[in-house]
Amino acid sequence: MATQEDFPRDRLGVLTGHNGSVHAVTYSAGLAQYLLTGSSDRTIRLFNPARASTSSALIQTYSAHGYDVLDLSVSADNARFASVGGDRAVLLWDVASGATLRRFRGHAARVNACAFGGEGDGVLVSGSYDGTVRLWDVRAQGGREMMCLGEARDSVSAVRVVGADIVAASVDGRVRTYDVRMGELTVDVIGHPVTSLTPTKRAESLLVSSLDSTLRLLDRASGKLLQAYTTSSDSPHLFQNTSYRVRSALGCDENVVLSGSENGVVAVWDVMDGSRPKYVLRHAEGGLERGAAADEAGRKSAKRSVVSAVAFCPARREWVSAGGDGNVVVWGDAGGA
Amino acid sequence: MSYKRNRSAFESDIPPPPPSYAIFGTPLSGGENARDDGTFVPVWKQTVTDERGRKRLHGAFTGGFSAGYFNTVGSKEGWTPSTFVSSRTNRWKGGADKDGEHKSKGQRVEDFMDEEDLAEREEERRVRTNEGFGGLGGTAEEVGARGGDRLMDLIRPGGETMGVKLLQRMGWRVGQGVGRRVRRKARGDEEAGTETHWFAPEDSKMVSFAKKNDTMGLGYDADKEGGPLKKPDRNGGNGSDAEENEDGEEEPSAFRPVFKSSKGTANKTPARKSGFGVGILNDTGSDDEDPYEIGPKISYNRTIGGSDKKKNKTKPNAKTCISPSTTSGLRKPSSIGANPLLRSGSVFVSSRKTPSGTAFTPAPSNAGFHKCHDGCLPLDGFVLSVSINPSDALNSKTYAPPRIPEGWKSAKSTSASLAAAAAQQQQQYLSAADAARASELNPSARGAMIGEAPLKGPSVFELLSPEARARLDAATAGLASRFTKAKAPVGPDGQAGTEPVVQDKPADPAVEAAKMGMFGELTRSKVAWKPARLVCKRFGVSVPDVAEEGEQAF
């Protein structure tokens, strides 16, 4: 048996085509053979990651957003997916035909996050810069809003549905869990703006990213901190997250914690040890672009070097990183897994 | 009596006598050999067309319908609609053909327009200014309100004058007059009613500086007087010439008949510039009026030159013109000679008027020689001015403005000088806000400066009851927790960009605990939350039994 690295660190290919930073990546459900990416160029692309770096990687492009696409969520049956973005729209798409099935209107500002939930994915949850979390009825004709949760005092940056719980993270530094079954709202104060949520498979823990360059794994039942993932003080350049929304993920059967970073790298921690990243992988090949001396170029390259999203494939040892340069890098084990 | 001839006798009559025809009607022109040129067409072909070939006689107002086929309907077959021919391919008959030639123009709008329409069209082409066109001095109505003056209010003082401000403070509004209130009926409504109200007086009209070009007296109103013809006499009757003339009005003469109405002032005839008698517009509908009975009463003067009685009172000697040396007092238009149409008789010109001392000069060329409009010289010591243009008067040497002595400074300051002074002062000027900012004193220091004894005793808070204090504290805390200081600006675009870094007040224990890393009970709080029925349904859970309360924001 070939010795496998504990973490797939080989660059398998690059999915190109987007004309702006890629804000969201998500694998399809089930076998996770496809990858959906949403970008600031207002398009959503469906890729086949196995064909990365080939011309046949791109399968379809969905264009309906008037502004950046900020988050994507695929329903469990792989037939539909939802996208949200800067144009305050929450759209429900049919994957095969590429048609927009629903347009949910209601948010007053850009929509930052979305997630399917409920029985048969009949509920779509969206969180917006306007501080509200809205629940939409997918089944009803015409897109009806079921509920609007306005407890957050600032922008809602991430939403997840865990069973019958709706978890919303906000820039006001709190994670709110709405328990539909028990009729209870649980507020966990994190202290810093929260930008990403990743529940574990068994829903007992929650990985939370915040803008103090720290990720925290919290126990959902008690609210206690299980582990904090950060970089050591003597090497702060390894991982940085203080300004932009950067997504994190759990991978390798929840043995590793990955996160994008603002300095163009992906930081990977072992789940048991969060003192410093185990691996730091550069997203862009060849480092930062040349000629970044001027201020404008410097600013641009700063945004371009943000690795805003990472996603670990639930079915195999493969993961992707999406960056401000518009590329999505597919990582895995070279030579197949 | 006719008789029968035998056949031979009959045939032997050569030539046979011309048959005697009874001729009716007019023979056709051109004789028997004339060709049929189609001038006489059968009835069914006779259509009336105008000069442009359009059919006439259609419609009730233009002669009656000539509908249909011989005044029947439709065509030879009866009322059958003509078959539709599509003009899609032949629609545009104007322009050039493929050969580049212009064929028929097709249908134009002008084909369907008659004279009235064409005239209207031409009328539209004429460019006019809109009603209420704002020319110099305002619209026509505004200019009229000022008595035809276009220049009067053209240049006004900038801003409101002090007088206007004072008036407005005292309740005056623009357009009102100044003075006591008047009691009158409300204007503007058609049914004003009979009740009177207090109104502001009318605004006084500005004296108009319209030039007087006529020789009518001051205050002569052409509209009121109705022209040089005498207005209707109050007293009526033909006599009493004497009274009329004492009023100074023109006396009647043979050449200018005067019309009097016998009805008096009760009957208001509208002032007319021309014409006399009753017209359709003056018809009041009163049947008592018999136009033939009343008629204009023309009164002719029966003596030539008027009666001597009148003349001696007021008029000067008829024969001579008033020469400057003999004039005293008022100037009256002079003599009435044998011909009253000539206002002046012979003119005697004094030799004194000639500056050079020479004799009579027929064509005056010097200023001093100019005569007034009625041909007489001006008063002693006066000289008729050459031009009436006031600006010329200003430019002349006699009326030049005084010369300003050197080194004189005006006591008043212009806006320019004020601005310069202000600019200078600006550096030294310290606004109250700037002064406040610059000061480093606090209340107690200020108190010490002015020699105040420092305040002793409890603060205001202690004067309040405990409940009030608690309320105040809670309110401020609640409000304070709602608002946070934003550190970084929020990015405007949709980039998952800079979220504002929110810093909670350190007073919040949960945040403190989180900062210290003590997650758990200190950082967690639970509140009851009622999900919507449909949400529960979609989640496949039963609706939880939660009492809904006013929720606190965390």
Judged by a CB distance cut-off of 8 A, whether residue A147 touches chain B is yes
What pLDDT shows up at residue B319? Answer: 45
pLDDT at B154: 78
In terms of average pLDDT, the best of A109-123, A273-287, A323-337, B486-500 is: A109-123
Of B499, B508, B534, the CB nearest to A155: B499
Which three-class secondary structure state does DSSP give residue B235?
coil
CB A114 within 8 A of CB A73: yes
Cβ burial of A83 (10 Å; 0-12, 13-18, 19+) is: buried
Q: Is the pLDDT of residue A61 over 70?
A: yes
Instruction: Give pLDDT tens digits for B506-544.
Output: 568 888 888 888 888 889 999 999 999 999 999 999 998
Structure tokens at A116: 């399917």
Please give the angle made by the CA atoms of B26, B29 and B31, to the nearest 5 degrees: 100
Q: How far apart are CA B541 and CA A119, in angstroms?
A: 10
**Mean pLDDT to the nearest integer, A46-65:** 90
pLDDT of amino acid A14? 92
Q: What are phi and psi of A216, to 5 degrees?
A: -130, 140
Q: What is the mean pLDDT of residues B86-95?
A: 64
Window from A85-89, B63-67, B397-401, B431-435 with minimum mean pLDDT: B63-67
DSSP run (H or E) holding B514:
helix B509-516
SS3 helix, strand, coil % of chain B, rounded to 5?
25, 5, 70
Task: Please state the ipTM of this predicted complex.
Answer: 0.88
What pLDDT score does B373 carry? 77
The pTM of the full predicted model, rounded to 2 decimals, is 0.46
pLDDT of A2 higher than 50: no
Q: Do B517 and A122 touch (CB under 8 A)?
A: no
**Distances from the Cα of B260 to the Cαs of B233, B272, B300, B307, in angstroms?**
6, 14, 11, 20
Residue B213 has pLDDT above 60, yes or no: yes
Q: Which helix (H) or strand (E) holds B479?
A: helix B466-482
pLDDT bucket at B554, cuts 50 / 70 / 90: very low
Query: CB of A85 within 8 Å of any CB in chain B?
Result: yes
Q: Closest-CA residue in chain A for B509?
A: A189
pLDDT score recorded for residue B250: 47
Task: Specify which of A259-268, B16-25, B86-95, B251-260 reaches the highest per-range mean pLDDT.
Answer: A259-268
In 3D, which of A297, A262, A40 has the Cα closest to residue B498? A262
**Cβ contacts of residue B165 below 8 Å, gap of 6+?**
none
For residues B320 and B512, what is the distance between their CA atoms, to the nearest angstrom? 122
Flag the least confident range among A269-283, B28-42, B189-203, B497-511.
Answer: B497-511
Q: What is the mean pLDDT of residues B372-381?
A: 81
CB contact under 8 A, A244 and B501: no
The DSSP 8-state label assigned to residue B249 in this structure reads P
**Six token digits for residue A204:** 């007992």
Q: Cis bond leading into A199, ω under 30°?
A: no
User: CA–CA separation, A225 vs A204, rounded Å?
Assistant: 12
Q: How many CB pairs under 8 A join A and B?
A: 163
Going by their DSSP bridges, the two strands A10-15 and A22-27 should be labelled as unpaired
Beta-strand relationship, A80-85 and A123-128? unpaired
d(CA A94, CA B194): 79
How many domains, chain A?
1
Q: Would you say residue B271 has pLDDT above 60? A: no
pLDDT of residue B351: 54
CA angle A280, A286, A288 (to 5 degrees): 80
Other CB atoms closer than 10 Å to residue B460's CB: what's the count? Answer: 6
In a domain, residue A291? The reply is: yes
Residue B81 — very low, low, confident or very high, per pLDDT cuts 50/70/90?
low
**How far is Cα B511 from Cα B515, in angstroms, rounded to an integer?**
6
Closest residue, chain B, to A109 (C-alpha): B494
Q: Which residues in chain B are contacts of A205 at CB distance < 8 A?
A: none
What's the whole-number mean pLDDT along residues B490-517? 64
pLDDT band at B22 (very low <50, low <70, confident <90, very high): confident
- What pLDDT does residue B242 have? 42
Percent pLDDT > 70 in chain A is: 93
The pLDDT of residue A31? 92
pLDDT at B313: 46
> Which among A130, A134, A136 has a CA at the least distance from the CA of A154?
A130
User: Could you give the CA distance from residue A274 to residue A256 in angstroms, rounded to a whole number?
Assistant: 10
Q: Is the pLDDT of residue A131 over 70?
A: yes
- Mean of the pLDDT values across residues B470-497? 59
Residue B238 CA, chain-centre distance (Å), reads: 46
**Whole-number Å distance between alpha carbons of A4 and B481:** 52
Which H or E run contains B10? helix B7-12
More confident residue, B308 or B143: B143
Pick the closest to residue A252 from A2, A8, A59, A63 (CA basis): A8
- B397-417 burial: b if 16+ Cβ within 10 Å, else e: eeeeeeeeeeeeeeeeeeeee
Give the Å distances, CA to CA, from B321 to A133, B130, B324, B332, B381.
109, 53, 9, 10, 19
B12's enclosing H/E stretch is: helix B7-12
Which of A258-262, A280-284, B114-118 has the highest mean predicted lDDT (pLDDT)? A258-262
Q: Which of A161-165, A299-303, B221-225, B388-392 has the weakest average pLDDT?
A: B388-392
**B480 contacts on A by Cβ (under 8 Å):** none
> Smallest Cβ distance to B544: which of A183, A189, A218?
A183
Most trustworthy range by pLDDT among A232-236, B6-10, B488-492, B505-509: A232-236
Residue with more model confidence, B65 or A80: A80
CB A81 within 8 A of CB A95: yes
Q: What is the mean pLDDT of residues B456-467?
A: 68
Q: Do A153 and B482 touch (CB under 8 A)?
A: yes
CATH number for the domain that contains residue A214: 2.130.10.10
Confidence of residue A73 (pLDDT cuts 50, 70, 90): very high
What is the least distance, in Å, from the CA of A182 to any CA of chain B?
A: 6
Chain A residue with CA closest to B526: the answer is: A186
Out of A319-323, A324-328, B237-241, B394-398, which region has the weakest mean confidence (pLDDT)? B237-241
User: Quick count: other Cβ atoms within 10 Å of Cβ B227?
Assistant: 12
Q: Which of B505, B519, B525 to mutate to test the interface with A (most CBs of A within 10 A)?
A: B519
Q: Which residues of A touch B506 (CB under 8 A)?
A: none
Residues 6+ apart with CB under 8 A from B501: A193, A211, A242, B486, B487, B488
Residue B141 has pLDDT above 70, yes or no: yes
> Which residue in A258, A209, A189 sits closest to A8, CA to CA?
A258
- What is the chain B residue with the closest CA to A170? B499
Assigned domain for A47 exists: yes
> Over 50: is that where the pLDDT of A11 sits?
yes
Average pLDDT over residues B463-478: 67
Q: What range defines the domain where residue A43 resides?
A: 4-332
Looking at residues A284-291, what average pLDDT do you find?
A: 52
Distances (CA, A) of B398 to B367, B393, B401: 15, 8, 9
Question: Residue B283 has what pLDDT?
Answer: 58
Question: Are B527 and A191 inside 8 Å of each other by CB?
Answer: no
From CA A144, how far away is CA B325, in angstroms rounded? Answer: 110
On whether the CB atoms of residues B525 and B554 are closer than 8 A, the answer is: yes
Tell me how far apart the alpha carbons of residues A66 and A49 are, in angstroms, rounded to a whole number. 26
Is A152 within 8 Å of B512 (Cβ atoms)? no
**pLDDT value at position A321?**
94
Q: Give percent above pLDDT 70 in chain B.
A: 45
CB atoms within 10 A of CB A160: 23
Locate all alpha helices (DSSP H) within chain A, ordered by sequence: 295-304
Least confident range of A53-62, B58-67, B220-229: B58-67
**8-state DSSP, B96:** B
Of B48-52, B286-290, B462-466, the least confident: B286-290
Is the Cβ pair B514, A189 closer than 8 Å? yes
Alpha-carbon B443 to chain mean position = 65
Domain boundaries, chain B: 509-553
Lowest mean pLDDT among A237-251, A305-319, B9-23, B64-78: B64-78
Q: Does residue A337 belong to any structural domain of this protein?
A: no
User: How far is the CA of B411 from the CAs of B58, B158, B161, B196, B417, in angstroms?
Assistant: 87, 20, 20, 52, 12
Among the listed ranges A130-134, B124-128, B361-365, B526-530, which one has the minimum average pLDDT value?
Answer: B361-365
Residue B14 has pLDDT above 70, yes or no: no
Residues B321-371 have pLDDT tens digits of: 444 444 444 444 444 445 555 554 455 655 554 444 444 434 444 545 677
A221 touches B: beta carbon within 8 Å: no
Report residue B424 as tokens: 């200078």
Asked if B519 and A218 come within 8 Å (Cβ–Cβ), the reply is yes
Quick count: other Cβ atoms within 10 Å of Cβ B343? 15
As a whole number, mean pLDDT of residues B478-483 equals: 63
Mean pLDDT of chain B: 67
On the question of pLDDT at B30 being above 60, the answer is: yes
> What pLDDT does residue B502 have?
56
Q: Which of B347, B294, B298 is nearest to B319 (CA)?
A: B347
Contact A265, A252 (CB under 8 A): no
State how far the Cα of B35 lies from the Cα of B42, in Å rounded to an integer: 16
Q: Which residue of A has its CA nearest to B543?
A: A181
SS3 helix, strand, coil % of chain A, rounded to 5?
5, 45, 45
Cα A65 to Cα A86, A95, A158: the distances in Å are 8, 16, 19
Instruction: List pLDDT tens digits, range B396-433.
Output: 666 677 888 888 888 877 777 777 777 777 666 667 88
CA A1 to chain B, closest CA, distance in angstroms equals 43
Selected residue with higher pLDDT from B306 and B423: B423
Average pLDDT of chain A to the nearest whole number: 89
A22, A188, A189, best to mutate vs chain B, most B CBs in 10 Å: A189
DSSP E strands, A108-193: 111-117, 123-128, 133-137, 144-149, 156-162, 165-170, 174-179, 184-189
Contacts of B449 (CB under 8 A, 6+ apart): B441
CB contact under 8 A, B519 and A174: no
How does residue A255 score in pLDDT terms, banded at 50, 70 and 90?
very high
Can you tell me the mean pLDDT for B275-284?
Answer: 57
Q: How far apart are CA B146 and CA B154, in angstroms?
A: 12
Q: What single DSSP character describes residue A109?
A: S
Average pLDDT estimate for A116-143: 92
Q: Is pLDDT at B184 greater than 90 in this prediction? A: no
Q: What is the pLDDT of residues A189-229, one digit of tens each?
A: 999 999 999 999 999 999 999 999 999 999 999 999 999 99
